[in-house]
Chain A
């Protein structure tokens, strides 16, 4: 129990530490990968709390998501390597205020909530995975399917926007301009 609490605390602090690095660096790749390691630490917290499926899933998903975010940040930021000494921060006072108040609210919720008694026994990993599957394909199916369709629609829409218009008129324009 104490070992578990210790590891949850260590990974929690690592998550916060890497989260701070995200904003302390000017390199976009460092920033993105620091966020990845922050999220990986959250995944490790899940593992320390014996929710194996969620932990492994978190660790897996974040690797690709944050890497893809990194290349977009490199593509769209003016100083992706952070070597040009460009200051990319803005609205500092507002961000500090928002960050501090969010942290205070989160800590207050954590301390003031009645979390109920801690479970003595948790089901093993395979049983948890099964229970999660039953939940996703039962009571929560509508929510997850709706979310899935929404994301799919957004992806198709984004792709459609990214493809150049292919009608005869614009084709002629392109050829003329070439």
Chain B
């Protein structure tokens, strides 16, 4: 039952995001548009390139979807609404999301196309930039909760959300999460207009439908992770806990989409430089500040 509810919330949020994304780009609000577009993909021919690495080509979209769902499986919507409340939940989500890279390398290498391959390897460079900014803010969050259990992390924010307790960590994690979800301005592996779609370029029909669904689901998973780690999870007045989780998750996901619409795409070298020369020192400062706060403030 819990599994069904969480999956419905996940894919329902992904659908809502697609509706809003369509609304902001075309100006027309259509609730059926994402579903119709998905059905249209199913009806189209799903072309296989001439000499693909067939295993990678077929596995990549499915793997991307699976890791997004696995990541969501350890994030609580409410105190008892979580698929698996692992003892190492905060670490597990890192492990699951590390396979986003593997999926994109497979999607890049699989079709035997130049643009796709550049897109896939670009994401490897992107990971070198953002990965520390995912791990280090989560470390500081776990330090405050003194636990890697995600429900305990939400519990530790009952009095004060982490966005107030460690705002620096929130900013870094939010930016890194956008880079992990390869949304604009960090959409280097896709890079429409420059790489002709990158890792998306060679996918058509049902495979493209799975890939797009996986991308949207990944955004929702990362927004949910931001909510759990920094926005107090299910905490909030009046409404039931699951409603607060959903509202916050959708708000974070929409702010990610919105930020992407108004920022130009970043260059890979600049992303790398800023992440390493500015981001990582700031993340270390955040860990030190949180360490001091944990020790000094009762």
Contacts and interface: CB of A to CB of B under 8 A. Distances in A.
Interface residues of B, number: 26
Nearest to B142: A129
A29 B88 contact: no
A137 interface: no
B91 A56 contact: yes
B124 A68 contact: yes
Nearest to A53: B88
A104 B166 CA distance: 54
A22 B53 CA distance: 15
A11 to B, nearest CB: 16
Interface in B87-106: 87-88, 91-92, 94-95, 98-99, 101-102, 105-106
A29 B56 contact: yes
Contacts, number: 65
A63 B98 contact: yes
B95 A60 contact: yes
Interface stretch (A88-96, A107-115, A120-128): A120-128
Contacts of B95: 56-57, 59-60, 63
A60 B105 contact: no
A60 B94 CA distance: 7
Interface string B156-177: 0000000000000000000000
Given A56-B91, A63-B98, A126 B124 contact: no
A67 B87 contact: no
Interface in B116-174: 121, 124, 127, 131, 147-149
Interface of A: 27, 29-30, 33, 36, 52-53, 56-57, 59-60, 63-64, 67-68, 70-71, 81, 83, 124-129
